[in-house]
Structure 1
Amino acid sequence: MPILDERHDFAHPIESDSAWSESYYFNAYDPATDTGFFTRLGIRPHEGRMDVGLSVWLPGTDLAVVAGVQPQHEMIDRDLAVAGVRYERLAPMQTWRLTCDAEASIRDLAGGRERRRGRIGMDVTFQALAPAIGSDGQGRGGTGVSAETRRHVGKGHLEQAGRWTGWIEAAGVRHHLVDTRGNRDKSWGPRRWGGPRMWRWFSINLGDHVHLGGIRIGTDAGDLHRGWIWRKGE
């Protein structure tokens, strides 16, 4: 898969499809503190909305969830903030800062406690460990499985591995990230939730020098398979 340049870290031209979306996704996990998160923010200008979801893993079996929606009728690529969650691009294809100060719904995944409300704070910075790998399908129709996938999932996509620093706080307890890696991705094009018959995606980081990812999407035209490996600079 190609390496994408810095311009793809900014907004792309909007097309006429009513489901047009540009979205940002990040994940992280720190085995030293048993904390992590995954989060996605999407802008859907034809629908007049911008939405965010943030799920934070806390030590043990607790999961804290923040979600929100606000009006947004134009495509933007800065001031990405919804419901107390903010994404800030510090250097294209290199550095992002994510912050949160919001009320969350917290549940015990083991079922030992009732669902409850609590305050979640976060200030973390992503530093790229590899280039952004992906493709830009704008201006090309594609054929077969590729064309069907572009109708539902998007026309462009990138993935990038990185290291995280910063902290996550819950119930007044602050967890400083120690040895944290994760991935981010960005997608642009039509996004119809429920469009694919099946969707499986993964990202793996083996230290600072080996990263890999893959996806399988089931469509009426067949299954799309894509994957990549970045190892020691190539």
Structure 2
Amino acid sequence: MTVQDFSSGLPIEKESIVSERPTEPFWAENLLFTLYDPDTDMGFWLHLGSVPNEWDMWEDRLLVCLPGDDGVLTMWGYYRTPQENKPAGPNMAFRCVEPFKRWQVTFDGFAQHVSNADMQNGLAPDSLRKRLVIDLEVECATPVWDAHTSAHGEGGKGEMTAQGWAKEHYEQLHRARGRVRVDERSYEINATGWRDHSRGPRGGGTGEPWGGHVIAGCLFDTGKGFVFSSYWRPDGRITLQGAAVIDAGGTFHPAEVLDTPRLKTLQMEGERLPIRLRWDGGLIDTFMETRRSIWTSMQKLLAVGKDLEGPGLMYVLNFGPCEWDGEVGQVYIERSDSINAPPERIWSGS
């Protein structure tokens, strides 16, 4: 039996955490797992990263959509994590079981509960904490999608090494199964989503200025899927863009982004966001309908809530379904934009 190589040519060391202190200012390493389970109606954004210029210190950052109209959980904390325990923070840990194949994701702590009404009314006030326990087994389902390779391939634009948030970045679609407990209520999770891993200077005025972005991914039951992203300057010029389509046989195809589903308004549900990708198998021309949303302020380090001061630079997470050739999958999409002063159009500059 042939075992599929999911690394897309990346060396196995890329899955590990850097073990020696970087000398480059503002250097950081970040890992993210996102997932959505339509049966429990729970969405997750689980982030671990080293703090720029504080390499020994790691940050937990968690955002969770609770079912229905139950609101959002949010938490972040900081911990000087021993090297042998990385990637981990005070409450959350990611453990690589098999590179590019399997991971374990755990969280054991408390998280602030924010109602949907408070999220919509402004930056969320301090509120009660809920006990939260997460234990997930993650199985990677597609080859790695590398942003640098994609930008230089068919349909790609811009340059990964010119970014101000990292110089290396890859993503991978996955399935996640396990249990989640919120206070005394337990949920069985059977979800899909994507993960990423990035390295390089974050902040400090390095790289292209941030104007906005879109990242999206979807894995279907048959094994097919897609990923795409676009980043642009405040004037709308694209600094990085690429996409890939995975067919039902697991073959990876470079793709071109034909439409950018931008963040124009803050809407809790019911947005129809275009997904239009061209690849060697044809055209994906569909849309996702947002079911769940988390609003955060990039101006306030992703504090939950609405923040329209100044440019109104918001970072919004959405979960919801899309249909491709009669099959329904669950999309995770994140978007940012200056809602009060957005560029009129996104353009390649070529």
- Please indicate the TM-score interval, normalised by the length of the shorter structure: 0.7 to 0.9
Deviations 1:25-46 (A, max 9, x none): 0011111111231111112463
Query: SS of the residue aligned with 1:81?
Result: coil
Query: SS of the residue aligned with 1:177?
Result: strand
Task: Provide the residue aligned with 2:224 in structure 1.
Answer: 210
> Where does the alignment leave 5 or more consecutive residues of structure 1 unmatched?
138-143
Higher relative contact order (CA 8 A, sep 6+): 1
Bigger CA radius of gyration: 2
**Residues 83 and 30 (structure 1), Cα distance of their counterparts in 2 relative to 1, 3 Å cut:** same
Task: Provide the residue aligned with 2:199 in structure 1.
Answer: 188
Separation (CA, whole Å) in 2 of partners of 1:207 and 1:177: 16
Letter of the structure 1 residue corresponding to residue 37 of structure 2: D
1:86-165 map, 5 Å: 86-111=93-118, 115-135=127-147, 145-146=158-159, 149-150=162-163, 152-165=164-177
Tell me the TM-score normalized by structure 1: 0.83
Task: Provide the residue aligned with 1:27 in structure 2.
Answer: 34
Task: Provide the residue aligned with 2:267 in structure 1.
Answer: none
1:166 and 2:174 matched: no
Task: Provide the residue aligned with 1:141 in structure 2.
Answer: none
> Where does the alignment leave 5 or more consecutive residues of structure 2 unmatched?
1-6, 120-124, 150-156, 252-350
Shift of 1:193: 8.0
Letter of the structure 1 residue corresponding to residue 180 of structure 2: I
The number of residues matched between the two structures is: 223
Separation (CA, whole Å) in 2 of partners of 1:173 and 1:214: 35
Cα pair 2:158 2:241 within 8 Å, conserved: no
Separation (CA, whole Å) in 1 of partners of 2:84 and 2:39: 33
Query: SS of the residue aligned with 2:88?
Result: strand
Task: Provide the residue aligned with 1:228 in structure 2.
Answer: 244
**Residues 177 and 208 (structure 1), Cα distance of their counterparts in 2 relative to 1, 3 Å cut:** farther
Query: SS of the residue aligned with 1:82?
Result: coil
**Residues 229 and 78 (structure 1), Cα distance of their counterparts in 2 relative to 1, 3 Å cut:** farther
Separation (CA, whole Å) in 2 of partners of 1:207 and 1:193: 42
Deviations 1:191-225 (A, max 9, x none): 22884122221122222412211111113793121
Separation (CA, whole Å) in 1 of partners of 2:110 and 2:179: 17
Deviations 1:101-140 (A, max 9, x none): 111101111449x842111111011101111120568xxx
1:66 to 55, 60, 75: 75
Letter of the structure 2 residue corresponding to residue 182 of structure 1: G
Shift of 1:79: 3.3
Query: SS of the residue aligned with 1:80?
Result: coil
Separation (CA, whole Å) in 1 of partners of 2:138 and 2:204: 27
Task: Provide the residue aligned with 1:54 in structure 2.
Answer: 62
Separation (CA, whole Å) in 2 of partners of 1:77 and 1:187: 19
Cα pair 1:168 1:174 within 8 Å, conserved: yes
Comparing both structures, which one devotes a greater share of its residues to strand?
1
Letter of the structure 2 residue corresponding to residue 50 of structure 1: W
Separation (CA, whole Å) in 2 of partners of 1:147 and 1:56: 29
Separation (CA, whole Å) in 1 of partners of 2:107 and 2:223: 29
Deviations 1:144-202 (A, max 9, x none): 9427733x021111111111110111021000013x11110111111228841222211
Tell me the TM-score normalized by structure 2: 0.57
Shift of 1:98: 0.9
Shift of 1:82: 1.3
